[in-house]
Amino acid sequence: MRSSRSLSGVKLGTYYVVHIPEPDDFDFWRERARGLIQCDVPPDRIAWVEPGGSGDLFAHGKRRMPVPPKDGPPVRANRRFVSLARNAALHSDPERFALLYRLLWRLQANPRIMEDKADLDVRKLEELDKNVRRDSHKMHAFVRFRLVEDEEGAEHYVAWFEPDHHILRANAGFFMRRFSNMRWSILTPRGSLHWDGETVAEGPPADRSDAPSGDPTEDLWRSYYASIFNPARLKIGAMLKEMPKKYWKNMPEAALIPDLVAGAQKRESAMVEKGTLEFEERPEALAAIDKAIHACCKCPIGQLDNHAVMGEGPQDAALMIVGEQPGDQEDQQGRPFVGPAGQLLDTHLEKVGIDRRAAYVTNTVKHFKYVQRGKRRIHQSPGAKEIDTCRWWIESERAIVQPKLILAMGASAARGMLGKTVSITKVRGEPIALEDGSELWVTAHPSYLLRLDGPAREEQARLFDTDLAAVKERLEELAG
């Protein structure tokens, strides 16, 4: 095991400072990282410094690069790691090279680490990779060239773009292939690219004022966009996600968007009010729902910085347990009821003898609604419209799982199942017959218990147990 090998070459308080020559130079990082791994240099002994970054902090005790032994141990890195790392290296996070090395170091002792979805380093790497891919996607979609004439009167197309990450060089090939017959330049605050029809040259960072800001071809773009824009199919959230406002200023067609959206939004609100909001076809598999909810932005909650959380459990479960919406923990872990409310639920289920693993556990609203306060994300209850919009998904899950009994916990879950608001105290403890022959049981939400203490908590816990025990008994009858 690596930890039992000698740490030769590393003294306490000694740092190796690696200056990365270009912020996107993955190959350089890789070569240095290999050598350092072979010399057994642990992550906390290395400062990875990119251009513009400072290595001075580490000047004290800094050492020359160690020379890897000729017959040094092979460095292990599986394909998944390398492909994510290559992308993540383009991220603007100054800690990215340190993260890559830490993971590479850990991979030597545990080659399966990349399969661990809960590992914080792996999750971070995936996040960086995702951000970079998204930034490249935006660049492919939103670079808009403007026609200018150079001094000799020749046509030259110039675009201004503001990437979030160091993606310019990595995307040169895309634009060379796509616009091979044009002479073009892409100017960005991180550097520029110039194509003369045969070779691509790199140039220094540019300023927005270096790029032209409008030409006659823009009218063409505008009329084209207005003609293909179909308000009935508008998904505002998805559109804003796909076409963030920061790119609008460079896109001639964007001037039309506010008016087009305003009209479509009105129509959509009217449809929600009438309950006629239409979705695409109902998914026929849980995996399809999972995929679809991740793209769903039908209500404002889906437009926050959160992740959809799919239900989990056996597809043929007799019991479906429905909560309100994922919380902060659930959002981060991608699983329902894993945070404090989930732990309390588990305790009570266990107490009455309901096996959670045999139930299908899900939420009526698929995304976490919150307000940001400093570093904390504070839970917000979903509104009736949001619940009603999200009902499509819980109904789709229900149509596939076909539970005999549904336990709705809390008012939001009850509304999600019934389409109307009911009082928990009035309906709890008795089955409500649903049109497909299944039964709905309503009880309090475990996070309600968490907000109480003393005798009030004890009383609510007792009522909760009574409801759960009744559900268990009914499940046994239905099974028999």
Of the residues 163, 339, 382, 416, which one makes contact with ligand URA according to CB under 6 A: 339
Decide: is 24 part of the binding site for ligand URA (CB under 6 A): no
Of the residues 48, 81, 195, 337, which one makes contact with ligand URA according to CB under 6 A: 337
Of the residues 237, 327, 382, 403, which one makes contact with ligand URA according to CB under 6 A: 327
Decide: is 301 part of the binding site for ligand URA (CB under 6 A): no
Each residue 351-380 as x (binds ligand URA by CB under 6 A) or -, in order, gives ------------x-----------------
Residue 471 CA: distances (Å) to CA of 318, 319, 321, 419, 421: 11, 9, 11, 22, 21
Decide: is 324 part of the binding site for ligand URA (CB under 6 A): yes
Decide: is 325 part of the binding site for ligand URA (CB under 6 A): yes
Can you tell me which residue has the tokens 């022959």? 437
Task: Decide: 433 and 418 in contact? Cβ < 8 Å.
Answer: no
Residue whose CB is nearest to ligand URA in the complex, by number: 323
Distance in angstroms (rounded) separating the CA atoms of residues 209 and 214: 12
Each residue 428-457 as x (binds ligand URA by CB under 6 A) or -, in order, gives -------------------x----------
Decide: is 330 part of the binding site for ligand URA (CB under 6 A): yes
Residue 85 or 408 having the CB closest to ligand URA: 408
Q: Which stretch binds ligand URA (CB under 6 A): 11-19, 125-133, 232-240, 335-343?
A: 335-343
Supply the minimum distance, in Å, between the C-beta of residue 321 and ligand URA.
10
Q: Which stretch binds ligand URA (CB under 6 A): 140-148, 284-292, 317-325, 422-430?
A: 317-325
Residue 237 or 323 having the CB closest to ligand URA: 323
User: Which of 76, 64, 68, 70 minimizes the C-alpha distance to 19?
Assistant: 64
How many angstroms separate the first and last alpha carbons of the chain? 54
Residue 121 or 346 having the CB closest to ligand URA: 346
Which tokens is 315 given? 């597809």
Decide: is 341 part of the binding site for ligand URA (CB under 6 A): yes
Supply the minimum distance, in Å, between the C-beta of residue 364 and ligand URA.
8
Residue 68 or 340 having the CB closest to ligand URA: 340
The size of the interface with ligand URA (CB under 6 A), counted in residues, is: 13
Of the residues 191, 252, 326, 334, which one makes contact with ligand URA according to CB under 6 A: 326
Of the residues 43, 313, 342, 403, which one makes contact with ligand URA according to CB under 6 A: 342
Residue 93 CA: distances (Å) to CA of 126, 131, 465: 13, 11, 48
**Burial of residue 81, with CB atoms counted within 10 A of its CB: 0-12 exposed, 13-18 middle, 19 or more buried:** buried
Residue 254 or 322 having the CB closest to ligand URA: 322
Q: Which residues bind ligand URA (CB under 6 A)?
A: 323-327, 330, 336-337, 339, 341-342, 363, 447
